[in-house]
Structure 1
Amino acid sequence: MFGAAFLVALREGLEISLILGIIFSYLRGLNRKNTFKPVWIGAGIAIAFSIIVGSILYILTGGEEWHGQLYIEAAIFLVAVGILSYMTFWMKKNSPGMNKGIQASIDTALKSNGGTFQLILLAFITIIREGLELVMFLLAIAVDGKGNGLSLGSGTLVGLIIAILIGWGIYQGSAKINLKTFFQAMGNLLIIVAAGLLINAVHEFIELGIIQPGVYLYNWEHVLDRHGAIGGILHALVGYTDHLSSVQLIVWLIYIIPAIILFNRKKVSTLARGAALDKVNN
């Protein structure tokens, strides 16, 4: 759980830090540091709301099992996979124009009559999406690894601290990081993690009797138990299970192969064009 929580907290935390950094840097450039407070208020409300939503959902899925809990857990896995996939591709597509988009929104807010409220609303709307994405993904990890809150919490905390430090360094101009390379690498890693959560969702539907497992391909319970140290790490990161069914494998392949290809498509096509030009020039 630590590794998966760390990855998603680092990725989402850095995105939140970068968004706030863009806002504060632009306001500082306009010599409007007096407007920092409304931004912090909006961001604080968004973070608090995300935590409240996550806490309510965690309470609903915690404790002893009750009728309908498996349905909620399966839904959480599917929602987490959907959100994670969407935000990974959204960030890849929109990150180049994010800076100008946020600056344009700030200009609009400052020119309006209720400038303070508009800045609070801007910060809230901008941060709430990232906050809910982080909460939903962490909730899916928590549901999958009940009783291991320390691992989840420590992974999340370490990831957020590193993300905040990187964001602060970028804001101060003391840290240099290739964000395109970072988000490309993190995107691929999180697609793999999302595929693992999809396996867990299929497992819940198998337990509910909604779908049939097909054939179980192996039983490694006594070799690499998913509840053990190494098995637990692999389970949290890539969805490893010591009882893999053919249906789970098929669903995993159907998701991960197109996702990886589509996410890296531009990079691959660019390399192909470069190689073709080299041949022509030679």
Structure 2
Amino acid sequence: MPCPAAWPAIPTAPTRRSWPPPTPACATATPRAARRRPSRGPATTSASSRTANDEGRAPVRRRPSVPGASPMLSLCRRFLLAALCALLAPAAQAEAPDYAVVTATILSRAEAALDAYDPASPEATASEFSTLYFGVFESSGMELALIQADRSLLLAIELRFGQMVRQAMKGEPRERLRATWAELRPMLEQGAALLGTSPALDGAFDIAVQAALIVLREGAEAMLVVAALAVYLRRTGQYGHFTALWGGVGGALAASLATAWAFSTLLASAGAARETIEGACLLAAATLLLWVSLWIYSHREIAHWQDYLKTRLDQAATADSGWTVGSTAFLAVYREGAETVLFLQAVGGSSAPAGAVAGGALAAALLLGAAWLVLRSTAMRLPLKPFFTATAVVLFVLAISFVGKGILELQVAGLADISRIEGAPEWPLLGIFPTAQTLGAQGAALLLCALALLWPQLHGGGRKPAA
């Protein structure tokens, strides 16, 4: 049946509710097609659209809830599937080792390595400290346990281990290695004491709570990035890019499961591979987040945003934005997903009650979904300028943090040098570490962003809205 050219006339004295009339199946595709080609109509159509927008009744303001609702439910289902896979997969470790014994082993071997250290031939000492980190500290599960218990302490331990290896490789004096070891040793003892006082997870409820906390902690940051991108797409009317956004999220979840399996089987003996992959992902995500935050911030002053978007939708400004959105979402989720699966494996173990890990992960996914809805509802009510500014600032802060953490992971893997700066601040959770490499990379990122923001004012007097 052909699609009618226009709706039937509304009767003068209707006997039933006449609006909206029954919608033919073929008519449902028209609004989507119209959104993909907003500039095809004559100028009068654009004026009509502006009038409708000014009155707050434009279709573009009534449709935003459609693209995100179904993908959000799909995301929850995928997350539940990932949790079930983690529960059914072989456990990373059947029983938690005695971390006091692990720490004692590290301390005794480190003292012996320092006593035998010879600056003229430092390779043996450097290799021993690398083995102590990757072969003892990490492979025993102490690293994963400390991430759950105290992430700041773990990052500080990683920095000192990497510094010990680099100092030994350079053949620095024994006194400098001893000074670094004097910082590292009490941190290891603190970690062992912290893990030793943690209550055992015996019951299904305890395991479910621990699994939920892991998913909440690891997923909150990724949810914040994806939510900011999704709300931004809604506010700017770029509904066609939701496919790229949710495709990036789904691909990241699948890649996380594959990476977790590779870490627990194929790469079990390649300790530096995990830090290398993690550092590369962090730096790539930081690059995309910086680009996106700068683009959003530079457009916060544009008047009549909807008119600007309609004239630019088919131009280069949006030609690659779908790829950028999808890649940013992929990296934001992927960098947390593999660790989450490994943590769920470690918490579950071989003796975990059936369904405890999956139940806790599902509960956390529902809480993240509720936080998503609250964030989306709040952000949709904000005026455009405050919303753009807040979104850009959040993404920018996350990007700077990712730069510092990414460089640290490469330092631990031995791919970047470590030069300590005495007296420099150390805030691990914010990605700020007292090394010239991490602070230098973050300073370079800040400088590039400042130049990018000042360039339009220095060359052209600032951005003007497109005609």
* Larger relative contact order, structure 1 or 2 (CA cutoff 8 Å, min sep 6): 1
Give the helix-richer structure, 1 or 2.
Answer: 1
Question: TM > 0.5 between the two?
Answer: no
TM-score scaled by length of structure 1: 0.43
